[in-house]
Amino acid sequence: MAKAANERRLSLLFYVLITYILLQFVWWAYLLIDLNQLYYASEGESVVSLKVWMVLGEGAVFLTFLLTGVYIMQRTIRKEINLVRQQRNFLLSITHELKTPIAAIKLGIQTLQKRKELNSNQREMMEQSALTNTERLHSLIDNVLLATRIESGQHPLDLIPTNISSETLRICKETSLSLAKHNSIHTAIDDGIVTSLDSGAHESILINLLENALKYSDGGKVRVSLKKLDERIVLTVEDEGVGIPKSERKKVFEKFYRMGNEETRSKKGTGLGLFIVKELVELHRGAVEVLDSRELGGAKFKITLPA
């Protein structure tokens, strides 16, 4: 709340200062015109009119530069405020994302150390929990490193002819086993679609989309489809969540961006998943967009790739 109040005060101060500058500009323009009329009154109406138009012309040029500068400053300030807000959200979310699995792993190890009388099923459950949380940490670190490499231009693709149909089906099955405990993943994948593809990048794209869909479906259905239409390959991931408002659909692909307040948000995440999806899709010369899922009622992510 205090940070939001500071941002509002900064914006108010900026607008007050700009208003004062514009009023001063109008006042000095009025004084210059008045002085010119008095000074050149003896030289005739045409000379006075010419001098007035000179002042107005120079004032218009100055005003244009002034307003352009104000616009650039305002846009820069807003970008800086948004960047600070996104970085703050990222720090809050990454702290939560790191603390939760670490705490679970620590608890599991301590339980195994102190309670030697655990039966085999209990020990297996504790070990599986520790392994799952370790995988969660590994995935989180991979996403952070991948986003950094992409942004710095150090993530070249290894494009080779790949059966994207079998790869997509494999990733969906593995994700269903590891993540979809309370959800169901349904697939509609055409057989035998082959294209030049970086398999690792495709796996990152699909896993991030599936994790996002599973997270917001709350036990609902997730549908994945893959089709070849003319010279394009279309991959869609749909969910039964609340959907994404049209005003947010471009913002969700920005780095660190997440809807809502990080301090009160219940859904886990870092704001990197959809950023990674967009960047990797564009590296494949494709495009990604968010639509409404007409059948499932939630969000529909549509990826179009060249065949």
Say which residues have a Cβ less than 8 Å from residue 168's Cβ, sequence separation at least 6.
187, 189, 202, 206, 224, 226, 235
User: CA 211, CA 71: separation in Å to the nearest integer?
Assistant: 39
Can you give the pLDDT at residue 260? 57
Tokens 């070990």 correspond to what residue? 127
163-175 residue pLDDT tens: 999 999 999 988 8
pLDDT at 5: 66
Number of C-beta neighbours around residue 136 at 10 A: 19
User: What residues pair up with 197 in beta bridges, in sequence order?
Assistant: 160
Angle at 22 (CA atoms; ends 17, 30), nearest 5 degrees: 145
In percent, how much of the chain has pLDDT > 70?
Answer: 89
Higher confidence at residue 117 or residue 71? 71
239 token code pair: 């969910």
What is the reported pLDDT for 40?
Answer: 67
Identify the pLDDT of residue 86.
72
pLDDT for 175-210, tens place per residue? 887 765 656 788 999 999 999 999 989 999 999 999
Confidence at residue 168, expressed as pLDDT on a 0 to 100 scale = 94
**Average confidence score pLDDT of the chain:** 81
Contacts of 254 (CB under 8 A, 6+ apart): 86, 275
Where is pLDDT greater, at 181 or 145? Answer: 145
CB under 8 Å to 259, separation ≥6 — which residues? 244, 248, 251, 252
Predicted pLDDT of residue 71: 84
Greatest mean pLDDT among 23-32, 113-122, 197-206 lies in 197-206
Give the residue carrying structure tokens 């999806």.
277
What average pLDDT does the segment 289-298 reach? 82
CA–CA distance, 226 with 156 (Å, rounded to integer): 25
Percent of the chain with pLDDT over 90: 20
Distance CA 206, CA 177 (A): 15
- H helices within 186-260, ranges in order? 199-217
In this structure, which long-range contacts are made by residues 61-68, counting pairs with CB atoms below 8 Å and at least 24 apart in sequence? 62/25, 63/25, 66/21, 66/22, 66/25
Quote the CA–CA distance of 177 and 173 in Å, as a whole number: 6
Indicate if the pLDDT at residue 24 is higher than 70.
yes
**Contact of 168 with 189, CB cutoff 8 Å:** yes
pLDDT of residue 263: 43
Task: Identify the pLDDT of residue 167.
Answer: 93
Q: What is the residue whose two structure tokens read 């104000």?
A: 70
289 pLDDT more than 80 = yes
With a cut of 50, say whether residue 264 has pLDDT above it: no
In the chain the domains, ranked by start, together with CATH numbers, are 1-155 (no CATH), 160-306 (3.30.565.10)
State mean pLDDT over 60-68: 83
pLDDT score recorded for residue 42: 66
Instruction: Please indicate, yes or no, whether the overall pTM of this predicted structure exceeds 0.85.
Output: no
User: 203 or 63, which is more confident?
Assistant: 203
**Tens digits of per-residue pLDDT, 223-253?**
999 999 888 999 999 988 888 888 888 888 8
Given a contact cutoff of 8 angstroms between Cβ atoms, the answer to whether 294 and 235 are in contact is: no
Sorted by sequence, the CB contacts under 8 Å of residue 127 that are 6+ apart come out as 108, 112
**Cα separation values, 7 from 10, 17, 97, 248, 283, Å:** 5, 15, 27, 21, 36
* Residue 233: predicted pLDDT: 93
